Structure 1
């Protein structure tokens, strides 16, 4: 009789799955990096009320937040090759869409998705900084770019960090959708191995533990980073 749960197989699943962890981490960190660029750009466009771009940024955020990530991944996976084919026909380029790795579509989709959520967090953080600080920076000769980079953004980062951390944790868990378009991450590895052993429960439980540990580590790192960024502000407030 087959046992309900094979603890030994559960433990042996980790060495089989962990070699694919770098793929999961690559998706998460790459998408977060690109998402921060997208989110910051969209936030600044909305704050400075740039005509046309502001409406496009609002539409982008509304669409992304109103549709599932899975649908967005499929739209990128099937839509971007069609766009490349159209560009090939219109401007004479020779881009082979079939040679673009599926991993690229996943990173692109996750970056665009998390960027919409980061945009709101970054926008709120920037608006929380007193306008007088920017005016003081201008009065000593700083350009708007210098004031933003040296005065506003460091403080806004400390304010936005909890939301950024939560978004990153959600992004890490969302990478589990990558296997649906043939990206072999830890989720896909568990499915492939389970097809041979039929021990899906033990394998998926191992995957769950891996995600859980990663998220705990990220949460701890974010808390320490937040303490570091806000330490100076607390010291000043306590004086």
Structure 2
């Protein structure tokens, strides 16, 4: 009777899967960085209540949060070449739609998707910042950008970091959907490797172990970073915004 479960195979094939871990991390971290920029811009648009952009950002957030990411991947994968073909036809250009690296579709989709979710976390974190520090910054002659960079964002980061950390962990696990755009990351590689011996269950156990370990490492790093930020925050007096601002500038 053949083995129903090959325990040794679970660990012996992990090194083969780990060869594709850099691709998974590349997708996750680049998408996360882009999503933070998109989320910050969207959050500021909502906070400042910019008339036209506010409606566009509300539609963007609603669409991204209301549709499955796998559908968004398919839309991006087929829509971008269609747009390039339209540009070629009407403007006489010669863009090669087949030369677009598939990973660009994945990065664009994940960045837009995460940006919609991160925008709400960032907006809530920014609005939780004490108004006294902001007013003190303006009183000392700071510009809006300087106040945002030196006062608002450092304090908002402490509030938003746990949520953003969870978003990053979810993004790493969500990269398993990149295969719909022909990007071979860890999960896709595992499926291809398992097709050689049809030991798919062992392969999925191996993938689960790798994702679990990566998640634990990220959780520890985020917890350590959050702790350090809170320690630095406690070193500053909170009862006097002007004094705290002066220490931050020094």
Q: Which residue in the other structure is 2:194 paired with? A: 194
Q: Which residue in the other structure is 1:121 paired with? A: 121
Q: Which residue in the other structure is 2:219 paired with? A: 219
DSSP-derived class of the 1:197 partner? coil
| Residues 149/238 of structure 1: CA separation in 2 closer, same or farther (3 Å cut) | closer
DSSP-derived class of the 1:31 partner? helix
CA RMSD of aligned residues (A): 1.4
In structure 1, the gaps of 5 or more residues are: none
Q: Would you say the 8 A contact 2:74–2:180 is kept in 1? A: no
Question: Take 2:185 and 2:92, find their aligned partners in 1: how far apart are those partners?
Answer: 35
Deviations 1:185-227 (A, max 9, x none): 1111111111111000111111111111111111111111111
Q: Does 1:168 align with 2:165?
A: no
Question: Take 1:205 and 1:154, find their aligned partners in 2: how far apart are those partners?
Answer: 40
Q: Which residue in the other structure is 1:82 paired with? A: 82
| Bigger mean CA offset, 133-142 vs 229-238 | 229-238
User: Any residues of structure 2 matched to 1:36-47 within 5 Å, and which?
Assistant: 36-47=36-47
TM superposition score normalised by structure 2: 0.92
Question: Take 1:122 and 1:159, find their aligned partners in 2: how far apart are those partners?
Answer: 9
In structure 2, the gaps of 5 or more residues are: 240-250
Q: Which residue in the other structure is 2:96 paired with? A: 96
Deviations 1:65-101 (A, max 9, x none): 0000100000000111101111222233322111111
Q: Which residue in the other structure is 1:26 paired with? A: 26
Runs of 4+ in 1 over 3 A off after TM superposition: 235-239
TM superposition score normalised by structure 1: 0.97
| Bigger mean CA offset, 71-80 vs 229-238 | 229-238
Count of equivalent residues = 239
Question: Take 1:229 and 1:117, find their aligned partners in 2: how far apart are those partners?
Answer: 23
Question: Take 1:141 and 1:235, find their aligned partners in 2: how far apart are those partners?
Answer: 24
Question: Take 1:2 and 1:180, find their aligned partners in 2: how far apart are those partners?
Answer: 33
DSSP-derived class of the 2:196 partner? helix
